[in-house]
Amino acid sequence: MIPFKIPNPFDMKRALFIQPHPDDNDIGAGATIAKLVDKGVEVHYLTVTDGGSGSTDERLSNEELIDMRQKEQKEAGAILGVRDFHWLEFSDGHLYDHEELRKKLVGVIRKVRPDIIFTVDPWLYYETHIDHIVTGKVVSYAARASGNFRFYPEQLKKGMEPHRVQAIGYYMTYHPNTFFNVDGFWKDKLKAIQAHKSQFSGEHLSFVTNYFTKKAMQIADKADEECTYAESFKILPLMFLHSNVDAIDM
């Protein structure tokens, strides 16, 4: 394996967290997001789908649920200190890789101009949610394409100049290479998850919060400093996202 220095998001100015649905950022990286904001990093959220399939409550119309989930995401983000939200509103549960999705993702990246992008790991073993798989893969593509002026040149005419992203970070990953101490921010993450009332309540909420808390404690000894809770990520420079047989172990 080729040695390399893992990019540190706390040394950067701006981070863009791209999630398939309202709540994924908070579940996968909520404590780290709060810590980044606390350290002065500007954090943006981009939600790819409208969240309209995220409830079995037949009393709610699709439009009511979409509106509810956006409000919940803004409330959860505010708990973590996030102020900037972007929405693509593709249909929840029916996402697929197509040119319009690629173009819109590149457009937001060029508009926000992040130093690092975080998203779900699409190569997570046993991941069956198509929105997660597609989001992770297409975001990875868009992160690389955003710096190339030959992709979507019509955006340049609207002032969205090419932008080179330094690195990408994957949460909900089985192959992490980075572990952050989040002791001072774990309670904020749990509060953010609880803000998604349409998704989590009762036994389901207890299971989610207990599961992720135990996982955070389980990996704490891998953090670069002593802590009780840690969040893990796979962080890579973009150059390692193409034809790299060692990326899985980096």
In a domain, 97, yes or no: yes
Question: Which DSSP category does 130 fall into?
Answer: H
Structure tokens at 89: 């509103």
Instruction: Determine the number of helices (DSSP H) and then strands (DSSP E) in the chain.
Output: 6, 7
In a domain, 6, yes or no: no
Residue pair 138/101 in contact (Cβ under 8 Å)? The answer is yes
Please tell me the distance from the alpha carbon of residue 148 to that of residue 161, in angstroms, as a whole number. Answer: 9
In a domain, 193, yes or no: yes
pLDDT per residue over 107-145, tens digit each?
999 999 999 999 999 999 999 999 999 999 999 999 999
In a domain, 249, yes or no: no
Q: Which pLDDT does position 1 carry in this prediction?
A: 60
Q: Please identify which residue in the block is written with the tokens 């060692």.
A: 246
Number of structural domains the chain divides into = 1
Structure tokens at 162: 């090419």
Q: Please state the φ and ψ torsions of residue 248, each to the nearest 5 degrees.
A: -60, -30
**Rg of the chain's alpha carbons, rounded to an integer?**
17
Closest CA to 106 of 77, 138, 81: 138
Residues 6+ apart with CB under 8 A from 39: 10
In a domain, 1, yes or no: no
Per-residue pLDDT in tens (0 to 9) along the chain, 250 residues: 667 889 999 999 999 999 999 999 999 999 999 999 999 999 999 999 999 887 766 777 888 889 999 999 999 999 999 999 999 999 999 999 999 999 999 999 999 999 999 999 999 999 999 999 999 999 999 999 999 999 999 998 888 999 999 999 999 999 999 999 999 999 999 999 999 998 888 888 999 999 999 999 999 999 989 999 999 999 999 999 999 999 999 9
pTM as predicted = 0.96
Specify whether the backbone of 45 is left (phi greater than 0), alpha (psi in -120 to 50) or beta.
Answer: beta
Structure tokens at 97: 């890789």
In a domain, 3, yes or no: no
From first CA to last CA, the distance across the chain in angstroms is 7
Task: Find the domain containing 35 and state its range.
Answer: 12-241
Question: Which DSSP category does 143 fall into?
Answer: H
Please tell me the distance from the alpha carbon of residue 105 to that of residue 114, in angstroms, as a whole number. Answer: 12
Q: Could you tell me how many residues make up the chain?
A: 250
In a domain, 72, yes or no: yes
CATH number of the domain bearing residue 101: 3.40.50.10320
- Within 10 A of 26 (CB to CB), how many other CB atoms are there? 30
In a domain, 246, yes or no: no
